[in-house]
Structure 1
Amino acid sequence: MSSKKILILLPDGVGLRNFAFSNFVEIGEQLGWEVIFWNQTPFYLSSLGLKEIKLQVKPRPFTDLIKRAKINSELSHFENKWNDSVYSSYKFSPSSSGIKARLKNTIVSILESRSKNENGLKQLRNRLKKSERSSKFYDHCKVVLKREKPDIVFCTSQRPVTAIAPLTAAQDLNIPTASFIFSWDNLSKATLVVEADHYFVWSKYMMDELVKYYPYINTKNIHITGTPQFEAHYNASLLISKEVFFEQHNLDLQKKYICFSGDDITTSPDDPQYLEDLAKAVQTLNAEGLHLGIIFRRCPVDFSGRYQAVIDTYPEIIKEISPLWEKQGDSWNTILPTKADVALQVNTVQYSSALINLGSTMVFDAVTHNKSCFYINYDVENKKVEDWSTENIYKYVHFRSMPSSNSVIWINSKNEIANKIASLLNNDDEDVIRNAKTWFNVINESPADKASERIWKCLEKIKTNN
C-alpha cells in the first residue's frame, strides 16, 4: 500500500482534460502516490480505470450569493485601486426575472455595500467558509476526509463554489490544500473563489498577478508549474497519419485547410458571420487557383444551430469536425470533455495550415505545432449585440501579456482575409510564430510538456514540509 495519498478534487468538469485524460495520474503513481479523484462531475472516472469517490452533495444557496458579492466587490476594488475601467466589463448583469431572482440580487447588493475595502473583502472570504461550515455538504466532506486521511487535497480549479466546503473541511482537519489556477484569464476576472494553503500557477507572470490581486497570499505558497493543458500536443502517440485523419473526416488531400475555432455565444455573438466572411475569402482564393478549405471546430460548450446556415451554404469549403464533448445537463458546466477529444484536437491542429478565432487560447495550441493564429479584430455590419465589440474583447487584461502585437496575424476587416491567408501560405509568418512562442513562454512555464512533472514535484515538497 502506498504511503502517500492525494485526493484530487474535481468540483466541475474543467479539470478532466488536465488531470484525468492525461498522464498526470501515471506520473504520480510512479512516484508512489495513491491517487483518488474526489469527483463531483457526472463523469465516471472508474470507466478509465481511475480511483474515485463520488461527491454529490451541494453547497448552500446562500454561499453562492456571497460568492457573487465577492466577485463584484473585488472587481470594483480592482477598478478603483488601479483606475482601470476594464474590470467593470467583467461583471455580468444577473437575471431579474421573478421575485426570487430579485430577492437574490438584493441580498448580493447588500453584501457588496458592506465590502468596499480590504477589510470588507476579508469578511466576505470568511463568510464563504462560515456559510459552508453550517452545511450538510461540509459535514459529509469531513466524514470522507477522516476516513480517507489524505496527505493533501488538490483542487483542479479555483472557480467553483462547490470546492469551498471540501477545502475548508480539509483545512479544519489540518490537511494541506492546494488549488490549480485553471485559466490564463481567471485572476483578473476575480474568480479566485476558493482559499487554499497553496496555489499552482502557469507562470511567473501569473504569480505576479496572484500577488497583485490578492496581496495577503504569501509568495512561498505560490508554485510555478505551467499547465497540463498543452501537454497532449507533445505526445506523438496521439497523432494519426494525415491520410487517415482526412479519410475519417471527409477532407480533400489536395487541399490545405484553415481551422476556424469557434467561441461561445457570449464571447463572440457574431461568430457565424465571421465564419461566412472566411468562407467567402477562401472561395475567392480558390477561384484564383488555390485549393483551400475550412475545418470548423465549434466551441465545445456551444450546441446551438447558429452556424448551420453558413455550413449549408458552403458545403464544398466548410467541413465541420465537432468536438467530442458530451452534454450531461442543461448548464454549460455539465458539458464535459472526453478523452477522445484530446487526440481529435491535437490532430485537427496538426493538419491545419493555421487557426483563426477571436482571442482564444488556441493561439498557444497552434504554436506548439509551429502554426500561426489569426485573430479576428473587426465588427460586422449588423451586430447581434449592439454594445458588443472586438475592441472591448482585446482590452481584457490577459491580452496585456502579449509581448509583441505581431504575435498573431490581425484581421482588421473582412477585406483583409484573403490577402493575409495568401501571404501566410507563402511562408510569410516566421516572425509571427517566433513572437507567439515568446508569448507562450510568458504565460506558461517552459518546457510546456513537463507541467505535470513540476506539479508532482511541488506536491512532494508540500508533503515533506508538512
Structure 2
Amino acid sequence: MKKKIFVLVCDGVSLRNFAYTSFYKLGIAQGYDVVIWNATSFNLEQLNLKEVKINNAKPSAFSDILKTALIRIELNMFSIRDKDIIYHKYKFPLSFKTIKASVKSLIIKTYIALYNSEKGILKIRKKIASSERKTSHYKDCRAILVAEKPDFILSTSQRALTAIAPLTAAQDLNIPTASFIYSWDNIPKATTVVTTDFYFVWSMYMKNELLHYQRYITPNQIRVTGTPQFENHYDDTLIEPKAAFFKIHNLDINKKYICFSGDDITTSPKDELYLRDFAKAVRSLNKKEHNLGVVFRKCPVDFSDRYDTIIKEYNDVIVPIEPKWEKMGAAWNSILPTKEDYKLQTNIIAHTECVVNLGSSMVFDYVAHNKPCAFIDYNYLNASNSCKEGVYVYDFVHFRSMPSSEAVIWLSNPNTMADQLEAALENPSETVSKAKEWFEIINVHPLENACKRLWEEIDGVVHLE
C-alpha cells in the first residue's frame, strides 16, 4: 500500500517551493500518495495537484500573543548566550496605538517577564500547543487526519502560526512530523515557531545554527536537504527566447538590462530613492555609450505607489515588470505567487546582466546563472538627498555566513554607483566566484537535486522502525 505524505502549505513562498517545483511529481514517481494539505486560499486542483483544504485556518488569539512572547524571549536568550546585542534588532516594536493593541502588548510583556529564561522557552512552547488544542482549527485538522490517515506530515515552513494546530494534531495522533526551514535568515531571527520530530535544513551551516539556537533539538532530528527554492534556474524549459521575452515586456533588444529588485517597506522604507539613484547611475553610463536599461521588479507583497514618480521621471531607462502574485487577503502571507510568476522571475534573471538590491537572497538566484549582485550599502536620513554610508541589515547574523566581502559589489554612495556598476559589468568573474563560495556554504550542492534529497530523507523517516 502506498505511503501517504501530507505536505502542509500555509504561505506563498512555500507554495512556490513545493507546489511549483518538481517536488510533487517526484514524490508521485517514487510511489507515494502525495497530498498538499493546503491552508492557503489558492486552488491547487487547477494545477492538477491532489489537495485537502484547511478551511478557516485561524489560530487562537492567545497563541498569537504567546508566539510574540516566545520570539522575544528567544532573542533575549540568544543575546545573552552570544553576548551580542544584534538580536534585539530583530524585534518588531510592540504597538500601543489603540486600547486593544495596548492590552495585547501589556499581556505579551507580562509573559516575557514571567518566562524570560531557557526553561521558560520550553514552557511557552507547551502553552502554545495547549492553546491551539482548544481551537476549532485544531479540531478540524484532527478530524482530517483521522479520516485521511497520512503516514507523515511535512510542514513547508517552520514559522507559520497556522501550522501549529495541524502539527499538534498529528503529534497527538502519533503521526511523524517534520518542518522545512523556510529561509536562509530565519534561524537567528527566532522564527522556529513549530515543534516537530524532524527538521529539514538547507546546509550543514544551517544545521549547526539550529543546534546552537534551538537547544531542545538533537543532531539526529536534523536532515540536510538543500532547498527547492533555486531549482527553477536549472530547468531550461522555463527559459523563453530573449527576443520573445523582450517583445512581451517592451524591452529594447539592443540594450543590456540590470535588474533592480525592490524590497519590502519594512526592510527598506526609502527603497524608491535607491531606485532613483540607480536610474541616475544608468543614465550617466548611457552618456558614455553603454546603452543600458533597468528592469524593475518590486517586492511582490508591496502594493504601494511609492515608486511611481521615479518610474515616470526615469522612463527612458526604467521598465517595470510586475510580479504575478495574487492578493487573496489583507495579510502579507495571503499574497500568493502564481505559476506564471515562477517562470517570469526565472526569465528576468536569465535575460539581465546582474541584480541590485538591499541584502536579499537574489544574490544566490543570480550566481546560479553566473551573474553578480550589488548590495546597496548606504541609508537615507530625514532629507531625501542626505545619505550616510552603511545599512544596519548587514549587521544581521545571516550575513556572517559570507566568506568574503567580495562576494557582492558594495554600492556605498550614490555618487560612485555608476563607476562601480561599470567595473562590475566589465569584470564580473571575481565577484561571481566569491558568491559561489558563499552559496555553497548556505545551501548544499548540487542545487538541482534538492527535491531528490528531500524525498530520500522523507523515505528514511517514513520507514524508521
Superposition RMSD on alpha carbons, in Å? 1.4
The aligned residue for residue 404 of structure 2 is: 404
Instruction: Give the CA deviation at 1:182.
Output: 0.2
2 CA distance for matches of 1:388 and 1:68? 32
The TM-score with structure 2 as length reference comes to 0.97
1 CA distance for matches of 2:255 and 2:403? 34
The aligned residue for residue 47 of structure 2 is: 48
User: SS at the partner of 1:415?
Assistant: coil
The aligned residue for residue 71 of structure 1 is: 71
The aligned residue for residue 118 of structure 1 is: 118
1:66/1:124 contact within 8 Å kept: yes
The aligned residue for residue 16 of structure 1 is: 15
User: SS at the partner of 1:329?
Assistant: coil
2 CA distance for matches of 1:111 and 1:408? 42
User: SS at the partner of 1:103?
Assistant: helix
The aligned residue for residue 228 of structure 2 is: 228
Closer/same/farther in 2, CA of residues 358 and 167 from structure 1, 3 Å limit: same
Instruction: Give the CA deviation at 1:53.
Output: 1.1
Closer/same/farther in 2, CA of residues 213 and 35 from structure 1, 3 Å limit: same
1:135 aligns with 2:162: no
The TM-score with structure 1 as length reference comes to 0.97
The aligned residue for residue 169 of structure 1 is: 169
User: SS at the partner of 2:37?
Assistant: strand
Instruction: Give the CA deviation at 1:134.
Output: 1.9
1:270/1:383 contact within 8 Å kept: no
1:248 aligns with 2:241: no
Deviations 1:222-272 (A, max 9, x none): 000000000001100000111001001100111111100000011111111
The aligned residue for residue 371 of structure 1 is: 371
2:260/2:296 contact within 8 Å kept: yes
The aligned residue for residue 359 of structure 1 is: 359
The aligned residue for residue 292 of structure 1 is: 292
2:275/2:310 contact within 8 Å kept: yes
2:359/2:393 contact within 8 Å kept: yes
The aligned residue for residue 237 of structure 2 is: 237
Instruction: Give the CA deviation at 1:140.
Output: 1.5
Instruction: Give the CA deviation at 1:56.
Output: 1.7
Q: How does 1:100-111 map to 2 (within 5 A)?
A: 100-111=100-111
The aligned residue for residue 335 of structure 2 is: 335
1:359/1:375 contact within 8 Å kept: yes
The aligned residue for residue 61 of structure 2 is: 61
User: SS at the partner of 1:379?
Assistant: strand
The aligned residue for residue 5 of structure 2 is: 6
User: SS at the partner of 1:465?
Assistant: coil
1:14/1:157 contact within 8 Å kept: no
2 CA distance for matches of 1:345 and 1:22? 14
Deviations 1:35-79 (A, max 9, x none): 111111010101111111111232211111110100010011111
The aligned residue for residue 464 of structure 1 is: 463
Instruction: Give the CA deviation at 1:390.
Output: 4.4
Deviations 1:353-407 (A, max 9, x none): 11000001000000011100000001235457x9998431100000000000000
Read off the aligned partner of 1:42 and give its amino acid letter. Answer: S
Read off the aligned partner of 2:211 and give its amino acid letter. Answer: V
2 CA distance for matches of 1:144 and 1:17? 24
Closer/same/farther in 2, CA of residues 231 and 118 from structure 1, 3 Å limit: same
2 CA distance for matches of 1:180 and 1:68? 21
User: SS at the partner of 1:93?
Assistant: coil
2:378/2:388 contact within 8 Å kept: no
1:7/1:38 contact within 8 Å kept: yes
2 CA distance for matches of 1:186 and 1:27? 27
Give 5+ residue unaligned stretches, structure 1: none
Instruction: Give the CA deviation at 1:148.
Output: 0.6
Read off the aligned partner of 1:376 and give its amino acid letter. Answer: I
Deviations 1:139-181 (A, max 9, x none): 2211111111101011010111111111011011110000000
Read off the aligned partner of 1:440 and give its amino acid letter. Answer: F
User: SS at the partner of 1:424?
Assistant: helix
Closer/same/farther in 2, CA of residues 383 and 66 from structure 1, 3 Å limit: farther
Give 5+ residue unaligned stretches, structure 2: none
Q: How does 1:123-272 map to 2 (within 5 A)?
A: 123-272=123-272
1:354/1:372 contact within 8 Å kept: yes
1:34 aligns with 2:22: no
Deviations 1:183-225 (A, max 9, x none): 0111111001100000000000000000000122111110000
2:406/2:431 contact within 8 Å kept: yes
2 CA distance for matches of 1:192 and 1:6? 22
| Number of residue pairs the alignment of both structures matches | 463
1:449 aligns with 2:432: no
User: SS at the partner of 2:257?
Assistant: strand
2:246/2:253 contact within 8 Å kept: yes
Read off the aligned partner of 1:35 and give its amino acid letter. Answer: V
Instruction: Give the CA deviation at 1:101.
Output: 1.1
User: SS at the partner of 1:94?
Assistant: coil
2 CA distance for matches of 1:402 and 1:243? 36
User: SS at the partner of 2:171?
Assistant: helix
Instruction: Give the CA deviation at 1:323.
Output: 0.8
2:379/2:387 contact within 8 Å kept: no
User: SS at the partner of 2:406?
Assistant: helix
Deviations 1:75-126 (A, max 9, x none): 1111111110100000011221222111111111111111121111110011
Deviations 1:410-444 (A, max 9, x none): 11101121111211232x22111001001000000
